[in-house]
Structure 1
Amino acid sequence: MRLVPLLLALGLTGTAFAAERETRIPEAAVTAAAQLREQALADNTGWNVVESLTTEIGPRLAGSEADARAVAWAQAKFKALGFDKVWIEPVTFPKWERRGEIASVLGAYAQPLTITALGGSPAGTVEGEVVHFADLAALEAAPEGSLTGKIAFVDYQMKAARDGSDYRNGGATRSKGPSAAIRKGAAGFLMRSAGTDSHRLPHTGITRFDEGLTPVPSAALSVPDANQLARLAARGPTSIRMALDCGWDGQATSYNVIGEITGRTKPDEVVLIGAHLDSWDLGTGAVDDGAGVAITMAAGHLIGKMKQPPERSIRVVAFANEEQGLHGGIAYAAKHMGDLRKHQLGAESDFGAGRIYAFNTGAPAHARAATEQIAKALAPLGIEYAPDQGGAGPDISPFSAKGLTWGWLAQDGSDYFDLHHTADDTLDKIDPKALAQNVAAYAVFAYLVAEADGDFGSAPRADAAASE
């Protein structure tokens, strides 16, 4: 007998069947989560972890010696925090190195400029007249060949926002600008940093060169230096000299470092939380993303200290090389695709250490009641339920695209892009109380997902499978 006639024969309506499938969280777990929340707010594990990482390792450029030390650090830290299982999974990628950079204005107004090479830029020295563009669209609209022998300067000024939404424009300038400049004949590319600060500290970040183009030296100016260069260009033709010593140097292998608190009844089903272990090389990677590593490690640690483990396992992943192309997240998704259904839900902390203000999941209708229960448990932390918002974090997104259900804990990023990818990304920028609020939120969230009766809808997507 087919399913629908069978249900009708048994007198089960569609509503009754949906109710039987509905994912809920037992009240005992909700009560335990409230205690966990208060314990986490009073705990300093998160601070201790990020202090350790930034002090003992410092900046962790993917593929560097410091990156290798960070992998060893993460394995030792997971073990010290009481995770039952700790292992590594290899991630291989092209290795980019920065060795030096310098720039200056030439001629009557000669003076130095503060710049940093964009990740992926080749080495080289270029001299030429600067051509000023207000934004990426203006560069793309320039006539073909109009920049031959010149240096394109895109002066887009990012706007601060709690959700960091204008990064789509600042980031697009960095990732697409060099290729657009090359197509117009440019010998080099400069941009106002993708940042919202006014410090003389440039923001780095990865860039791309479209296939078939010969890469040119590409760099970002600090915000005050971008203002200075724009004023000079407005006075008349202005030339600069830019020398970058950087570039690709073969392949490197790093590792996703994984720690797990084993579930008591369903140990092969996991709740995935994580952050990326690598950082850029200018600061110490405290906000991006040492904070996320600390938040998720501490959340798993506190769940592991409870009187009894949750039903499912809590898996914390310190992802490799997010900064240069989500390499760790892509590798994790590829390796664990066969276990996708066993991943209840995945969430990543990768937007600094500001307080979490909103929550949602991508769960289907049958698990929305459980999402609402989690939201209610998070409300005392000042976190609002935002049922129509959110999405997967960067390293979660490759797996989410294949069908993993995402969780979203939105951090206040009002000042995140003051620090992002700069030498100012250091431990002193983290507020310990805000960090503890993050740890409490992740601990409550992960614990309740692990305790749920029913699933959150993770399943292979037909469109993802068809595209492979």
Structure 2
Amino acid sequence: LIEPRRAPLAMLGLGGSVATPADGITAEVVVVGDERQLDALGDAVRDKIVLFNNPMPPYDTIRGSSYGETVRFRHGGARLAADKGAVACLIRSVTARSLRSAHTGAMSYGNGNRRIPAAALSIEDAEMIARLAARGKRVVVNLRMEARDEGMVSSANVVAELRGREKPDEIVVIGGHLDSWDVGHGAHDDGAGCVMSMEAVNILRKLRLIPRRTIRVVLFTNEENGLNGAKQYVEDHAHEMGRHVAAIEADSGGFRPTGFSFECEDRTKAAAGERQLRAIAQLMSELGPMRIRSGGSGADVGRMRSKGVFLMGLEVDGSTYFDYHHSHGDTLDKVDPRELTDATAAMAVMAYVIADMPERLGER
């Protein structure tokens, strides 16, 4: 912050952003809440830094988080601002609570010709700038970022199997994603999901529970900024997509399990599968109430949607997930061992029963 007083701001560059010049960009800040407010400013945005100050509502036990509604400004705000002639874009971090921590994440320029630097501010700093602007103060910021694009590199998915005893060619996938943002440890996003998936199979092996079908653990690479691991998995296994009975993703943090969401393009299959899943959920009563609901699944397994695979996502108590998400705070000490254990148990039970049922999921 340069005007109306000098102060450092808590900031993280967004994934995919271009850099600023070496001495940064110094410009006046205009604050908007959404696209309509941006459009209303017209030419007043030109040569300014746009701050999208769009608050994320608190977590709701019924609705869950409002991530999908809020993250759009992180993803596309720079393109919107650039189209209006802005020189840089700032966004309010996508979180409902903060201890002055910035939260990064992927952004995209789309097909826009102008690429301007984009960064996330902590809630506290975004609010401070918004208050100053609301009082008619001229707010000037110097933004310095050293981002660079080092191009594509080779990576790999990690795949392991517990082979089925009767129908080994039929597959139930469970997994999470290996990559995380460079801040924090990626403990909740998505180290926890990877651990759950691996340990679920370890539990079954130790108990000598070999299901009828194969349970395949897939740890996807490059979820955060491209989904190339998931795309490659579907391409490499195109010949066996028809034998994928289900795919379950754990990418919501290592918290207390609350149920599973599911989706399937075949409505008849989805309805039959929902009845089966509700019966399976009763087997987990010791973990607490388990809700089965029609909804999303996961970004990685979602690449199998068009192939007709029955998709699922582990749901957890995500009331604190976005406190840490994509920030320096996503470290191992934030993971409760008991909650991680319970979530792993839920994954193990669901994967085993789906893999061991006489009939395929959704075909009763």
TM-score by length of 1: 0.72
Aligned position for 1:119: 15
Tell me how far 1:273 sits from its aligned partner: 0.3
| Contact in 1 for aligned 2:83/2:114 (Cα 8 Å) | no
Aligned position for 1:192: 92
- Displaced runs of 4 or more, over 6 A: none
Give the aligned residue type for 1:347.
Answer: I
Aligned position for 1:383: 289
Tell me how far 1:384 sits from its aligned partner: 2.6
C-alpha distance in 1 between matches for 2:38 and 2:226: 25
Aligned position for 2:319: 414
Aligned position for 2:117: 217
For 2:44, which of 139, 146, 152 is the aligned residue?
146
From the superposition, tell whether residues 423 and 360 of structure 1 become closer, same or farther in structure 2 (CA, over 3 Å).
closer
C-alpha distance in 2 between matches for 1:123 and 1:427: 31
Aligned position for 1:48: none
How many pairs were matched up? 352
C-alpha distance in 2 between matches for 1:366 and 1:231: 53
Query: Once the two structures are aligned, what percentage of the paired residues are identical?
Result: 38
Partner deviation per Cα, 1:285-306 (whole Å, 9 max, x = no partner) = 1011001011111001111222
Aligned position for 1:256: 157
> Partner of 1:109: helix, strand, or coil?
coil
Tell me how far 1:176 sits from its aligned partner: 1.4
Tell me how far 1:164 sits from its aligned partner: 4.1
Tell me how far 1:154 sits from its aligned partner: 0.8
Matches within 5 A, 1:65-214: 105-124=1-20, 125-143=24-42, 145-161=43-59, 162=61, 164-214=64-114
> Partner of 1:250: helix, strand, or coil?
coil
C-alpha distance in 2 between matches for 1:154 and 1:201: 17
**Alignment of 1:306 onto 2:207:** yes
Aligned position for 2:266: none
From the superposition, tell whether residues 179 and 442 of structure 1 become closer, same or farther in structure 2 (CA, over 3 Å).
same
Aligned position for 2:143: 242
| Contact in 2 for aligned 1:361/1:371 (Cα 8 Å) | no
| Contact in 2 for aligned 1:140/1:180 (Cα 8 Å) | no
**Alignment of 1:432 onto 2:337:** yes
Bigger-Rg structure (1/2): 1
Partner deviation per Cα, 1:149-204 (whole Å, 9 max, x = no partner) = 10001111101224543111221010111111011110000111011222111000
> Partner of 1:379: helix, strand, or coil?
helix
> Partner of 2:98: helix, strand, or coil?
coil
Aligned position for 1:10: none
Aligned position for 1:283: 184
From the superposition, tell whether residues 307 and 325 of structure 1 become closer, same or farther in structure 2 (CA, over 3 Å).
same
Aligned position for 1:21: none
TM-score by length of 2: 0.92
Structure with the larger RCO, 1 or 2 (CA within 8 Å, 6+ apart): 1
Tell me how far 1:214 sits from its aligned partner: 1.5
C-alpha distance in 1 between matches for 2:158 and 2:361: 25
> Partner of 1:245: helix, strand, or coil?
coil
C-alpha distance in 2 between matches for 1:369 and 1:134: 42
Unmatched tracts of structure 2, length 5 or more: 264-268
| Contact in 1 for aligned 2:71/2:94 (Cα 8 Å) | yes
Give the aligned residue type for 2:17.
Answer: S
Tell me how far 1:244 sits from its aligned partner: 0.5
Q: CA RMSD in A?
A: 1.7
Aligned position for 1:453: 358
The structure with the greater share of residues assigned to helix is: 1
Unmatched tracts of structure 1, length 5 or more: 1-104, 459-468
> Partner of 1:196: helix, strand, or coil?
coil
Tell me how far 1:142 sits from its aligned partner: 3.4
Tell me how far 1:133 sits from its aligned partner: 0.8
Aligned position for 1:271: 172
Partner deviation per Cα, 1:262-281 (whole Å, 9 max, x = no partner) = 11121121110000000001
